[in-house]
Amino acid sequence: MFARGGKLFPKALALTGTVGGALAVHQYMDSRRQSSALSNEVPVVSPIDPRPSVNLPSREDLLSNLQKTDKFDVLIIGGGASGAGSALDAATRGLNVACVEANDFASGTSSKSTKMAHGGVRYLEKAVFELSRAQLDLVIEALNERGHMLETAPHLCKILPIMIPVYSYWQVPYFFAGCKLYDWFAGKQNLRSSYLLSKTYASELAPMLDESKLKAGLVYHDGSFNDSRMNSTLAISAIEHGATVLNYVKVTQLLKDSSTNKVEGAIVEDQETGKQYQVKAKVTVNATGPYSDLILQMDKNKNGLPDPQPPQPANVSIATEVAVNKPNMVVPSAGVHIILPSYYCPKTVGLLDVKTADGRVMFFLPWQGKVLAGTTDIPMKTVPQNPTATEADIQDILRELQHYIKFPVRREDVLSAWAGIRPLVMDPRKRKDTGGSTEGLVRNHLIFTSETGLITLAGGKWTTYREMAEQTIDEVVKEGGFSVKPCITRKIKLAGGENWTPNLSALLAQHYKLSQAMSQHLSNNYGTRAPIICELFKEDERNQLPVAFGGRENVTVLHHVNFDSFRYPFTIGEFLYSIRHEYSRKATDFLMRRTRYAFLDAANALTAVEGTVKVMGDELNWDSARRQREIEECTEFIKTFGV
């Protein structure tokens, strides 16, 4: 399936081994090109000795850090984009950092975004017509940070052209001026210049559009990225810089000084073993996104404990778990996205519906070989533990899409659907009744330090995570009176981005005899860490099996398997890498976040659950009861994704 020449498991060339090997090949080729420029010699790649792989502390080592460290400089609660980003910023400034996440990295909003690194064209329109300085500041900030994302994680973030179909001639100068203004505000960080397409060229670029209504097309540029992989990469990068970052560790109580009522850490619980740790810190940060108010409720209580929760009905499933967070600071809004087959959108260009029936914008974007469509904007009164897309939300997006697509838009084409809670916030010191609407709120972030010294970071958007983290750690430094190094996260390369080159997929294909699809998949998701996975392929050829296959014991059955039925390039080798190098602890971690399997095709991902649990159970020594529980929980969770 993944090899060239029709062979399932070819012998891998013993030229490169680990991350260092692939990088050395690239550096060697560069030097050969320079030395042969005058002689017109064709550069030849010589064998390179493998270098050692990146060594990360085990989960046990990280838990041990919690126990043996008397007092951290900063404890960060939350392992989403803002929490992991803050951990990286603090660690690279020289602070001793602990960061704990109750579930998995990006298990909440950070894995359910529109996958865009963008300034926000709709915010620019609001800034102009409403003369809003706040909206304009958000656009300029995000455009600047968009460039940093593309720079620091080039394997995960790519430039994406987006076409605005124009259906009235009067809209041509209006949209053109808006796109050029968008370019202008980006300044030096502008990706590429916007341009106008005639009706003919726009129709050729997007043949699925109804050309009888089309007048022209406007193309501007933003970034597209893999949000949950970006999140886990931030966590890994923070660990590599010395931070203690743990998933599945939940804060159960804030520690407070009995005389001053100042927060001085937290009691946390390892969700796997139930063991509790007392984690003391000079400064504590609340970076829990939509769930910020839960920590703020604990902060208000003298004992640091959460408010008593209302009793829940017996046998409440993951899909219907009741909301426990009554927001005060957070103004929750649900954004729903769906995944469709690739023929709903051009493969290399996104589409933007600038004005839906209710005034929102709607994106239709190529992503991971599929089309991502969304998003809705539905005000909520509570923040559920597991928000889900309703059928009405899905139909809303499909109806909007049908206005432009000239073939039938079918419900059965929806491969996956999910809901995420937007982190809109109001300053708790200035909160007013919003009248139930979130459409008029600005998505700026808010950094709020309570009287107890707890620093809360909330709001913002994925694109501005780095600046949010920088400003948060600035506040940490001020609150803790630390002497630190300057912030370097504007230029630091995240794990897998070091010395990355667009030619990495070609190098992987050549030296490991991989198919083009597999080498591109590994290059674009793991960057210069991809050779570690390739070494697992070389170590045991059966690791190239799709994870859905679920085992490597009986190699003879491989000759009888129809590998065409496995449509996604998620292998056992990749799964082992996620366990050993990315702290995957549950089947959902791999199927939902380290890969985007269930986000791309929920029904197909269901067929991989048992195989995934088998491989993970063998690797982590699970007993039969744990395996069965994992199968049930993972299956139930994936079924909430529009299946």
Instruction: Choose from 25-29, 195-199, 427-431 the range with maximum mean pLDDT.
Output: 195-199
- pLDDT for 261 equals 95
Q: Is the pLDDT of residue 350 over 60?
A: yes
Q: What is the pLDDT of residues 520-559, one digit of tens each?
A: 999 999 999 999 999 999 999 889 988 877 655 544 444 4
- pLDDT for 474 equals 98
Evaluate whether 139 touches 206 at the Cβ level (below 8 Å): no
The amino acid at residue 559 is H
Evaluate whether 234 touches 81 at the Cβ level (below 8 Å): yes
Query: What single-letter DSSP state applies at residue 18?
Result: S
Of all helices (H) and strands (E), which one includes residue 400?
helix 391-402
Q: Is the pLDDT of residue 138 over 90?
A: no
Q: What is the pLDDT of residues 97-107, one digit of tens each?
A: 999 999 999 99
Evaluate whether 578 touches 543 at the Cβ level (below 8 Å): no
Of all helices (H) and strands (E), which one includes residue 284?
strand 276-286
The residue-averaged pLDDT of 91-114 equals 96
> In the chain, what percentage of residues exceed pLDDT 90?
64
Q: Distance (Å, rounded) from C-alpha 549 to C-alpha 146?
A: 39
Burial (CB count <10 Å: 0-12, 13-18, 19+), residue 179: buried
Query: What single-letter DSSP state applies at residue 514?
Result: B
Residue 485, SS3 per DSSP: coil
Q: Is the pLDDT of residue 189 over 80?
A: yes
Q: What is the pLDDT of residues 287-299, one digit of tens each?
A: 999 999 999 999 9
- pLDDT for 551 equals 58
Provide the 10 A C-beta neighbour count for residue 362.
21
Candidate from 261-270, 284-293, 545-554, 567-576 with smallest mean pLDDT: 545-554
Q: Is the pLDDT of residue 284 over 70?
A: yes
Candidate from 46-55, 263-272, 425-434, 610-619 with smallest mean pLDDT: 46-55
- pLDDT for 363 equals 92
Q: Distance (Å, rounded) from C-alpha 18 to C-alpha 529?
A: 8
Residue 635, SS3 per DSSP: helix
The residue-averaged pLDDT of 495-508 equals 92
The residue-averaged pLDDT of 560-589 equals 82
pLDDT confidence tier of residue 111, bands split at 50, 70 and 90: very high
- pLDDT for 45 equals 34
| Buried b or exposed e, range 529-556, using 16+ CB within 10 angstroms | bbbbbbbbbbeebbbbbbbbbbebeeee
Higher pLDDT, 308 or 279: 279
Q: Distance (Å, rounded) from C-alpha 475 to C-alpha 282?
A: 13
Q: What is the pLDDT of residues 424-461, one digit of tens each?
A: 787 766 655 544 444 445 468 899 999 999 999 998 89
Nearby residues of 443 by Cβ (< 8 Å), 6 or more positions away:
120, 123, 138, 422, 423, 424, 459, 460, 461
Nearest to 599 by CA among 83, 115, 82: 115
3-state helix, strand, coil in the chain (%, to 5): 40, 20, 40
Provide the 10 A C-beta neighbour count for residue 381.
9
Q: Is the pLDDT of residue 213 over 60?
A: yes
Q: What are the domain boundaries of the chain?
A: 59-111+229-308+428-491, 155-224+332-423, 503-640
Q: What global pTM score does this model have?
A: 0.87
Evaluate whether 516 touches 504 at the Cβ level (below 8 Å): no
Distance from the first to the final alpha carbon of the chain? 27
Q: Distance (Å, rounded) from C-alpha 274 to C-alpha 533?
A: 32
Q: What is the pLDDT of residues 152-177, one digit of tens each?
A: 999 999 999 999 999 999 999 999 99
Evaluate whether 122 touches 611 at the Cβ level (below 8 Å): no
- pLDDT for 217 equals 95
Measure CA 362 to chain center. Answer: 20
Tokens matching residue 310: 């209302």
The residue-averaged pLDDT of 376-396 equals 85
Q: Three-class SS string for 53-122?
A: CCCCCCHHHHHHHHHHCCCEEEEEECCCHHHHHHHHHHHHCCCCEEEEECCCCCCCHHHCCCCEECCCHH
- pLDDT for 347 equals 93
pLDDT confidence tier of residue 139, bands split at 50, 70 and 90: confident
Higher pLDDT, 333 or 71: 71
Residue 275, SS3 per DSSP: coil
> In the chain, what percentage of residues exceed pLDDT 70?
82
Provide the 10 A C-beta neighbour count for residue 352.
20
Q: Distance (Å, rounded) from C-alpha 340 to C-alpha 590?
A: 21
Q: Is the pLDDT of residue 564 over 70?
A: no
Q: What is the chain's mean pLDDT, rounded?
A: 84
